[in-house]
């Protein structure tokens, strides 16, 4: 049995009508009232304005709000005194504050280096102790070995053959 082009188009149109009516029935207020709705607090305020940190429920609402900032900016550009005040505020140095101890830094990179103290990036060494009669072992965390202070000059070689064993292994 061969299907003509007209029959195929007719079936496709019918399929589209069924699909469209299903979408319309789902979008009608009666259908949405019968189905449970998700909490509006989870989706409310998802889009945030980067200029003033105000939140909006949709991207379109945020876009409309952003135009008010561009209008304000155009107004500032036409007024030299207001433009100078806005530039001074923009050029003001941002202070980066440590969330753990409250120390302030002028650069974010310095704060990142400081945060290593709080994170403990040096790590710890774990020693596993096992008894001969015990198949399992208890782990005891050990502090890391102290690093040599690089601010001091290196030790002079005594020259009497009393080098540390580690150096003798390399020879």
More confident position, 36 or 80: 80
Q: What is the share, in percent, of the chain residues with pLDDT greater than 70?
A: 57
Residue 92 CA, distance from chain mean position: 25
Q: Is the same domain home to 72 and 88? A: yes
Q: Is the same domain home to 83 and 97? A: no
pLDDT in tens, 93-135: 567 888 888 888 878 888 888 888 887 655 555 556 655 555 5
Q: Which residues are CB-contacts of 83 (< 8 A; sequence separation ≥ 6)?
A: 76, 77
Q: What is the share, in percent, of the chain residues with pLDDT greater than 90?
A: 0
Q: Is the same domain home to 83 and 112? A: no
Read off the pLDDT band of 51 (50, 70, 90): confident
Q: Is the same domain home to 81 and 97? A: no
What pLDDT, on the 0 to 100 scale, is given for residue 50? 85
Query: Residue 52 domain-assigned?
Result: yes
Q: Is the same domain home to 104 and 86? A: no
CA atoms of 78 and 127, how far apart (whole Å): 70
Query: Residue 130 domain-assigned?
Result: no
Query: Residue 146 domain-assigned?
Result: no
Q: Is the pLDDT assigned to residue 36 strictly greater than 50?
A: no
Overall number of domains in the chain: 2
CA atoms of 99 and 94, how far apart (whole Å): 15
Query: Residue 67 domain-assigned?
Result: yes
Give the torsion sign (CA, 155, 156, 161, 162): negative
Q: Where are the alpha helices (DSSP H) in 28-147?
A: 29-34, 40-43, 59-78, 80-91, 108-119
Query: Residue 62 domain-assigned?
Result: yes
Query: Residue 29 domain-assigned?
Result: no
Query: Residue 50 domain-assigned?
Result: yes
Query: Residue 119 domain-assigned?
Result: yes
Query: Which residue range forms the structural domain that includes residue 54?
Result: 44-92
């Amino acid at each position: 049995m061969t299907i003509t082009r007209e029959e195929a188009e007719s079936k496709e149109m019918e399929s589209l009508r069924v699909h469209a009516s299903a979408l319309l029935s789902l979008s009608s207020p009666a259908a949405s009232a019968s189905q449970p709705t998700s909490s509006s607090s989870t989706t409310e305020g998802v889009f945030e304005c980067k200029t003033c940190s105000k939140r909006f429920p949709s991207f379109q609402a945020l876009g409309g709000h952003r135009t008010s900032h561009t209008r304000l900016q155009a107004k500032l550009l036409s007024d030299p005194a207001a433009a100078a005040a806005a530039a001074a505020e923009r050029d003001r140095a941002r202070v980066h504050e440590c969330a753990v101890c409250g120390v302030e830094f002028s650069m974010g990179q310095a704060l990142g280096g400081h945060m290593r103290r709080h994170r403990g990036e040096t790590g710890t060494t774990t020693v596993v102790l096992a008894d001969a009669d015990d198949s399992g072992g208890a782990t005891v965390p050990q502090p890391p070995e102290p690093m040599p202070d690089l601010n001091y000059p290196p030790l002079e070689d005594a020259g009497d053959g009393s080098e540390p064993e580690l150096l003798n292994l390399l020879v």
